[in-house]
Amino acid sequence: MENKTYSLPEFTLQTRVTPTKAKHDKLEFTMPLGIFRHHTGDAKLGEIEQYMGAPPKGTRTPENWDQARHFSTFLTRPQGSPNSPQRLLNVRKKPITGLDFDPRFNSIPLFSGRLELEERGHSGRRIVTAVYQANVNPTRFTRYQDWNKLRLYHRPSGLPTLFRDTHIPSSEFPLDGSDNWLPDNPALIWQSFMIRWPDRLRDYFNDLESTMRQEVENRGRLSLDGTGFLYFEPSEEAWHMRRVEVYWEFKNASSPEFLNSLDRAMRSYSALEHSRQEFVGDEAQSPRQNRDRETFNTTVLSVTVMPGVRIVIYPKTNERLRMEVRFNVADFSPRSELPSEASGSAGMVEALQRYSETAADVLNTFLAHLEGQMNPGFIPWSPPPTDLMFRIIGHCQNREAARVIMALLIQEGAVSRVKWLKTSIDGLVKSGILERAKNQQGPQSVTFVPSPAYLMAVQRLRDATTADALIMDRRCRRDVPQLRR
């Protein structure tokens, strides 16, 4: 049966990934929005660039709110010198002075990009097109949806918003300073919303396209000089892929020993003959492996596996390891069969599915190589005993239950689900600390043992307890006077 909750799996040497479990991080693509026309004829690029910027001072008066409200949080003035090609940037982080009535100013946008105006045709038949260079992140978009609103509307697909709506409390913290990760929220409506990833992608792209088109269309309704108007015609051109990041995450396996083993495996993987064959004919590139310290707490390991495709592995938070496959379309080999164009939002979802399938094949090939390079008895990560004790206390119903469960794990290596421990044990199972043991005594006798990730921590506590007992026994023997015969 498919797991209905989003929880991080353990990483072992036998771990392999599937496309259906993939998530997407940074995406860059070009989205043609439409064409501008002037009611008297062809619109000029320079006029439209200035027109699409911040509103003139005359429209900031209370009498002109209906006109000024169309200048919202998205677009800024054209950038560049008067003699250079000018670009329109977004997203504005602060409101235009005097136009702080737009409620979206109070929220942080969940997308970014650049709006470019391009002039096509000759002097007799010029047209100006609006093209959005999108730089978006579906993971961050999903993270900041309000699950309480989803519950109110009784729609598992949700009512997504392009502006930050809520914050999910979590004991985790990012090691790279970025918020593009999905906390483990126990709310069922959130789980249903988040697991249906293709729906999240489709929601995101649909909202982004409709919002940007509506924005430039609103600008087109305003007068350029008080005598004419711009007309906006939506475009049906294909979207162009530029960069795609596909990832999978696991419970933190980023111990120094594991990272060193990954580093060695990546170096040997770059040297394999089948890896080098991918670069035949591409003299500007070659297989390469990098080990960079992105922040003080984060070491990023990467290896190039084919032109335009890299595997990147790093600890994302204090509790999760991320494995990414990054695609740079501009560097693809001519032999690549991955799509570089997509037809609208539906086409983008289909294209990303193909990228996910390729990413899974690429990562699984490397994981098989990693398994062959590492000691089969190697344990990638185990929390220290103090972390285990604090987590048991945090997930148990009360302190007495935590004390009893800890003592049973140390002394017996397992715990039975008696009535007064049931709630605490269920919490420990859900958190991944305990798992059901194979029971030989029938369904009535349910026993739980530490999960593989916590076996080492329990063993270290047992060794420490045994050592303390031996020391105490020796002290007692030394203090008791010897009886004479």
- Alpha helices (H) in 374-451, listed in sequence order: 385-395, 399-411, 422-430
Is the CB of residue 193 less than 8 Å from the CB of residue 156?
Answer: yes
Is the CB of residue 296 less than 8 Å from the CB of residue 304?
Answer: no
Helix (H, G, I), strand (E, B) or coil at 112: strand
- Between strands 298-306 and 309-315, the pairing is antiparallel
Closest CA to 320 of 174, 170, 167: 174
Q: Which long-range contacts (CB under 8 A, 24 or more apart) does 464-472 make?
A: 464/385, 465/410
Is the CB of residue 199 less than 8 Å from the CB of residue 215?
Answer: no
What are phi and psi for residue 323, nearest 5 degrees? Answer: -120, 115
Give the pLDDT score at 105. Answer: 57
pTM, two decimal places: 0.74
Helix (H, G, I), strand (E, B) or coil at 241: strand
Burial, 100: exposed, middle or buried (Cβ in 10 Å; 0-12, 13-18, 19+)? exposed
Is the CB of residue 191 less than 8 Å from the CB of residue 6?
Answer: yes
Q: Which domains are seen in the chain, by residue range?
A: 1-380 (no CATH), 385-479 (1.10.10)
The rounded average pLDDT for each run of 10 residues, N- to C-terminus, in the chain (485 residues) is 58 88 95 78 63 58 60 59 57 55 66 81 70 92 79 58 76 84 79 84 91 78 56 88 96 72 85 76 66 73 91 89 95 90 94 97 93 67 78 89 91 86 88 76 69 80 68 52 48
Sign of CA dihedral 358, 360, 363, 365: negative
Could you give the CA distance from residue 251 to residue 238 in angstroms, rounded to a whole number? 39
What are phi and psi for residue 57, nearest 5 degrees? Answer: -60, -30
CA-CA-CA-CA torsion for 422, 169, 202, 107, nearest 10 degrees? 160
Give the pLDDT score at 485. Answer: 44
Between helix 197-220 and helix 344-373 the angle, nearest 10°, is: 140
**Residue with tokens 């000759």, as numbered in its chain:** 122
Is the CB of residue 310 less than 8 Å from the CB of residue 304?
Answer: yes
Give the pLDDT score at 8. Answer: 79
Could you give the CA distance from residue 352 to residue 331 in angstroms, rounded to a whole number? 18
Closest CA to 69 of 222, 230, 212, 209: 222
- DSSP at 24: E
Closest CA to 22 of 330, 318, 362: 362
Q: Could you tell me how many residues make up the chain?
A: 485
Cα–Cα distances (Å) from 456 to 379, 384, 410, 451, 462, in that order, read: 9, 8, 11, 10, 10
Give the pLDDT score at 362. Answer: 95
Amino acid at site 149: K
Residues in contact with 103: Cβ distance below 8 Å, sequence separation at least 6, in sequence order: none
Could you give the CA distance from residue 208 to residue 158 in angstroms, rounded to a whole number? 16
Asked whether the bond before 415 is cis by omega within 30 degrees of 0, the reply is no
- DSSP at 226: S
Give the pLDDT score at 122. Answer: 64
- Between strands 309-315 and 434-436, the pairing is unpaired
Is the CB of residue 328 less than 8 Å from the CB of residue 291?
Answer: no
Residues 31-40 have pLDDT tens digits of 999 887 765 5
Give the pLDDT score at 470. Answer: 47
